Amino acid sequence: MTQIKEPGRWINPPRIFSFNDHQITLQTEPGTDFWQRSFYGFRNNNAPAYLFDRSDNFTFTVTVECAYRTLFDQAGIIIWIDQNNWIKTSLEYENEEFSRLGAVVTNDGHSDWSTRNSPAIPRIQFRVSRRGPDFLMEARTDSDWEQLRIAHLSAMGETTAAMGATSTAELINSNSVGVGIYACSPGDSRFEAKFRHLAFQAATWEMHDH
């Protein structure tokens, strides 16, 4: 596993942020979020995210520390193609007793959300692994990684049964995707989010044998 050295890029740069020793710190602003249409009807694409463009099959890991304050405050990993096609996985604040741990997958401008209750903790690790157009989201609060979601981004093409073949993998990997960190406050809130130990490695998500 290697620490990230190449520069990334912002979408919706935050007003307050800093970089220091492989750590990104940012402060959220009220009314910021990523969500598309489903159930609520609104479309929000105004949260800050710092992305690294990758065309390989990778595993990306980060430790997230947050001083959550208000309902819906959240921070974690985001995978980004455009405002209509993306994935985010995060710990979202609910109240002092518990938070929501889960993922939102957005295909063709419609979001869906899978979640479970989690202790209201200030620190958590996330990782995402890519295999072509498919992604595995995981989280860890203690010693074991927990699978949160396996998802597909349809804008990246079809999952191929022969993904293990070198030629197919090379074809799939020609699709670049942005992956990185984000934080937002959909409600009337501001909080500080710290992202530490950002690192990429070759995909640890093993290919499925048929």
pLDDT one-digit tens code per residue, 102-134 = 999 999 999 999 999 998 889 999 999 999 999
* Mean pLDDT value across residues 78-86: 97
Please tell me the predicted confidence (pLDDT) of residue 37: 87
**What does the block give as tokens for 31?**
């009314």
User: Dihedral angle at the C-alpha atoms of 198, 150, 119, 18, nearest 10 degrees?
Assistant: 20
Q: What is the domain partition of the chain in residue ranges?
A: 2-202
Q: How confident is the model at residue 206 (pLDDT cuts 50, 70, 90)?
A: confident
Total number of residues shown for the chain: 210
pLDDT of residue 41: 76
Its pTM stands at 0.90
Is residue 28 within 8 A of residue 193, CB to CB? The reply is yes
CATH 3.40.50.720 fits 2-202, yes or no: no
Place of tokens 């602003």: 29
* Interior/surface letters 61-93, b for 16+ CB within 10 angstroms, e for the rest: bbbbbbebebeebbbbbbbbbeebbbbbbbbbb
